[in-house]
Amino acid sequence: MAQLHKLSENKIRIEVGMEDALRMVQEAAQHVDQYTQDIVTIYEKMPAFDYTNFCFYAYDSARLFEWVLGEDPRGYSSFALDAPDAFFYILYGGMAALLKERRRNSQRGRKPEQPGRAFRAKCVGMINSSITVGRRPST
DSSP per residue, the chain = --EEEE-SSSEEEEE--HHHHHHHHHHHHHTTTTTHHHHHHHHHHGGGGTTTT--TTTTT--HHHHHHHTS-GGGSSEEEEE--HHHHHHHHHHHHHHHHHHHHHHHTTPPPPP--HHHHHHHHHHHHHHHHHTPPPP-
The CA-CA-CA angle for residues 112, 52, 46, to 5°, reads 40
pLDDT at 111: 57
Amino acid at 88: F
Q: What is the pLDDT of residue 112?
A: 52
Question: Is-contact 69 2, C-beta < 8 A?
Answer: yes
Whole-number pLDDT of residue 107: 75
Q: Which residues pair with 4 in a beta bridge?
A: 14
The segments of the chain whose pLDDT lies below 50 read: 116, 118-119, 126-139
Q: Residue ranges per domain, the chain?
A: 3-133
Whole-number pLDDT of residue 134: 42
- Give me the pLDDT at residue 130, please: 44
Report the pLDDT value the prediction gives residue 129, as an integer from 0 to 100.
46
